[in-house]
A = this chain, B = another copy of it.
Amino acid sequence: MSNSGLNIIKIGGNIIDDEVLLDSFLEKFAALPGKKILVHGGGKIATRIATDLGIEAKMVEGRRITDEAMLRIVTMVYAGLTNKNIVAKLQVLQCDAIGLSGADGGTIKAIKRPVKDIDYGFVGDILHDSVNTASIKKFLEAGFVPVFSAITHNGLGQLLNTNADTIASALAVGLSSLYDTSLVYCFEKNGVLKDINDEQSVINSIRADEFLQLKEDGVIHDGMVPKLQNAFDAIQKGVRNVYIGHANNLHLFQQGQFGTCLTLK
């Protein structure tokens, strides 16, 4: 591992869908010094366009079923409309962004999710070692800021719709062999909260052993459990820290005051 730092920031649909939030976030992202990567989720535009085109958005257990028509739409919206608008906005802010899917530069390969009980369609799962770190390193060392949409490919010409959290995590794990890598998840809360109803009750840091205790005590529950579990998995695999906090607070990241910091020990 080199001493050179890399921050991988993931934003979700709630920011993509709100132009004021997005612009404010991108300013903070652009101001972040050093090597960095942005990963963005989808947002509601894809669903809206699908509806307008008479294509029904099918969801099973919170996951979108991606048939061929829906794959075309998410490719258009995520890798085209959303990605290029973010890149154009970052360019104004002197951030030399390049928009990528996993197909570009062969950066991220995935496999079409095997059909068990549910056929998710053209959804990609990222296997171990499927991040082309050499390719991404070329972009980073050339001074570019990669902006990844949530589209990958299978290496056989098929594009695949892929969860943005998973992409961010896979990038962080893969690139932690080359850089001192931190992973930053931006979401709607100020961090992991002691009291879900109190935005001021942010837990500043959580070690792996504390996580088990907080889970047992029921402080961390529901959707936060898998989110944090995945974060600790990434840390186990070499990512230095995972941060979880509000997109609006990214400017506090450099001062170490952003959301909740997850650490191994």
**A87-B104 contact in complex given A53-B49, A72-B81, A81-B72, C-beta closer than 8 Å:** yes
Complex alpha-carbon distance, A178 and B208, angstroms: 53
A207, CB-defined interface residue at 8 Å: no
This chain: copies in complex:
2
Bound complex: CA A106 to CA B98 (Å) = 8
B77 and A159: CB pair below 8 A?
A: no
List of B residues within 8 angstroms of A78 by Cβ: 80
> Which of B53, B91, B98, B158 has a CB less than 8 Å from the CB of A88?
B158
Chain B residues contacting A85 (CB-CB under 8 Å) are 75, 159
A92-B157 contact in complex given A81-B72, A84-B151, A142-B142, C-beta closer than 8 Å: yes
Kindly state whether residue A21 has any CB partner on chain B within 8 Å.
Answer: no
Q: Does A253 contact B (CB under 8 A)?
A: no
Residues of B within 8 A of A157 (CB): 88-89, 91-92
B residues in contact with A155, CB < 8 Å: 91-92
Chain B, Cβ-Cβ closest to A92: B157
Nearest CB of B to A178, in Å: 15
**Would you call the interface of chain A mostly helix, strand, loop, or mixed?**
helix
A79 within 8 A of B: yes
Closest B residue to A135 using CB positions: B96
Is the CB of A68 closer than 8 A to any CB of chain B? no
Confirm or deny: A138 has a beta carbon within 8 angstroms of a beta carbon on chain B.
Answer: yes
Contact for A53 among B53, B99, B106, CB less than 8 A: B53
Cβ–Cβ < 8 Å partners of A79 in chain B: 79-80, 83-84
Q: Are B75 and A80 in contact (CB under 8 A)?
A: yes
List 4 tightest A-B contacts by C-beta distance, closest first: A80-B80, A76-B76, A76-B80, A88-B103
